[in-house]
């Protein structure tokens, strides 16, 4: 916070966007640079910094989340669009930067980490806090960043990975935890046990291709209220009991229940998933979650409260049909 206050007079673009609740690209880059210097002074890594990242400038124009929360039309005269310049981080071959699970650094973050990394937020991609930190350190970085609930959501995700046998802390020298200052006053700080479990060689029930199942909805969190949070898209976790597999390979006997993620809000409008109720029978076309986590996992995500449900094999629901 002291750094952001000191930047107010130094950055012509300002510290925060004009029509959005998040910081500007220069403010974020300055924080990444100072954070990198702090890490370099206090952490001994296993080798010299040598990652050959490059930054490329890109301009993007956005409307900001204030417009969304006030539910104003795009042609209103009060909140104008704003153009910012991003520094997109790329690999030597020109490919976009991606998190590295083998990195010695893990960043836990919220929408302040995602604002220039998650294209669905409207401010571009490949230029978020993890990308800038990797560039400044010249080292790979792993990332768990989820919009909203920064005091709790990334801890819950880390705990769920550990319980599923995916040790995101293996080989880590430092964990950086970024969350919005408001979390200190209103965040969910309840303890979450970090219990590591050994991963099975082939996780029970997991398919590597699309499957179609008929299932019964056992439970789901309450859907979001459009406009109540500064995020126009949200994913929800459905706890379902599988009745039958109509296409693809799934070991129903080994794991009769699963966790299915699906869009519950798009562009501030609820999807049909928001109207689901426990006991309903569903037909689900599912894809394995892990290959899609980078695409969907950073959006505002509503999870079941039961930690045992988070241990179930996760899938992404490409289609969802109510059978009754």
Identity of the highest mean pLDDT range in 60-69, 188-197, 240-249: 240-249
Token pair, residue 61, equals 């124009």
Give the model's pLDDT for residue 43: 96
- pLDDT tens-digit profile of 163-180? 888 899 999 999 999 999
Query: Does 204 have pLDDT greater than 50?
Result: no
Q: How many other β-carbons are positioned within 10 Å of the β-carbon of residue 191?
A: 6
pLDDT of residue 1: 67
- Cβ atoms of 259 and 314 within 8 Å: the answer is yes
Question: What is the pLDDT at residue 72?
Answer: 78
Nearest Cα neighbor of 87 from 36, 14, 30, 25 is 25
Instruction: Decide if pLDDT at 44 tops 90.
Output: yes
Give the pLDDT of residue 92.
83
pLDDT grade for 199, boundaries at 50, 70 and 90: low
DSSP secondary structure letters along 42-55? H---SS------EE
Asked if pLDDT for residue 191 goes beyond 90, the answer is yes
pLDDT score of 93? 87
DSSP 98-133: ---TT-SEEEEE-HHHHTTT-GGGSS-SS-SHHHHH
Helix (H) or strand (E) holding 151: none
- pLDDT exceeds 90 at position 148: yes
**30 CA to centre of own chain:** 22
Residue 128 above 90 pLDDT? yes
pLDDT for res 203: 47
High-pLDDT (> 90) share of the chain, %: 73
Q: Are 235 and 271 in contact (CB under 8 A)?
A: no
- State how far the Cα of 293 lies from the Cα of 261, in Å rounded to an integer: 10
For residue 280, count CB atoms less than 10 angstroms from its CB and return exposed for 0-12, middle for 13-18, buried for 19 or more.
middle
The rounded mean pLDDT for the chain is 92
CA distance linking residue 115 with residue 65, whole number of Å: 11
Identify which of 144, 56, 132 has the alpha carbon closest to the alpha carbon of residue 100. Answer: 144
Q: Which of 236, 36, 235, 4 is nearest to 112 (CA)?
A: 4
Burial of 168 (0-12, 13-18, 19+ CB in 10 A): buried
**Residue 243 and residue 257: Cα distance in Å, rounded?**
9
* φ and ψ of 71, to 5 deg: 55, 40
Averaged pLDDT for residues 301-319: 91
């Amino acid at each position: 916070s002291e750094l952001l206050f000191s930047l107010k007079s130094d950055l012509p673009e300002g510290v925060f966007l004009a029509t959005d609740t998040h910081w500007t690209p220069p403010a974020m880059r300055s924080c990444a640079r100072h954070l990198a210097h702090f890490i370099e002074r206090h952490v001994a890594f296993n080798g010299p910094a040598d990652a050959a990242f490059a930054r490329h400038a890109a301009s993007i124009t956005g409307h900001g989340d204030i417009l969304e929360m006030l539910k104003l039309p795009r042609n209103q005269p009060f909140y104008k669009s704003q153009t910012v310049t991003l520094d997109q981080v790329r690999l030597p071959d020109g490919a976009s930067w991606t998190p590295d699970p083998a990195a010695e650094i893990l960043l836990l973050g919220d929408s302040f980490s995602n604002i220039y990394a998650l294209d669905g937020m409207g401010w571009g991609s490949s230029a978020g806090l993890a990308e800038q930190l990797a560039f400044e350190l010249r080292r790979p970085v792993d990332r768990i960043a989820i919009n909203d609930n920064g005091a709790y959501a990334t801890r819950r995700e880390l705990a769920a990975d550990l319980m599923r046998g995916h040790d995101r802390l293996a080989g880590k020298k430092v964990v950086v935890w970024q969350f919005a200052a408001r979390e200190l006053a209103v965040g969910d700080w309840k303890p979450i046990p970090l219990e590591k479990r050994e991963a099975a060689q082939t996780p029970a029930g997991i398919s590597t291709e699309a499957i179609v199942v008929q299932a019964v909805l056992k439970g789901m969190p309450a859907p979001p209220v459009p406009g109540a949070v500064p995020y126009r898209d949200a994913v929800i976790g459905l706890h379902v009991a599988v009745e039958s597999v109509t296409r693809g390979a799934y070991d129903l006997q080994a794991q009769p229940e699963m966790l299915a993620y699906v869009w519950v809000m798009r562009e501030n409008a609820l999807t049909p998933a928001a109207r689901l109720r426990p006991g309903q029978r569903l037909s689900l076309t599912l894809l394995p979650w892990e290959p899609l986590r980078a695409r969907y996992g950073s959006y505002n995500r509503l999870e079941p409260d039961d930690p045992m449900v988070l241990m179930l094999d996760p899938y992404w629901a490409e289609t969802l049909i109510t059978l009754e």
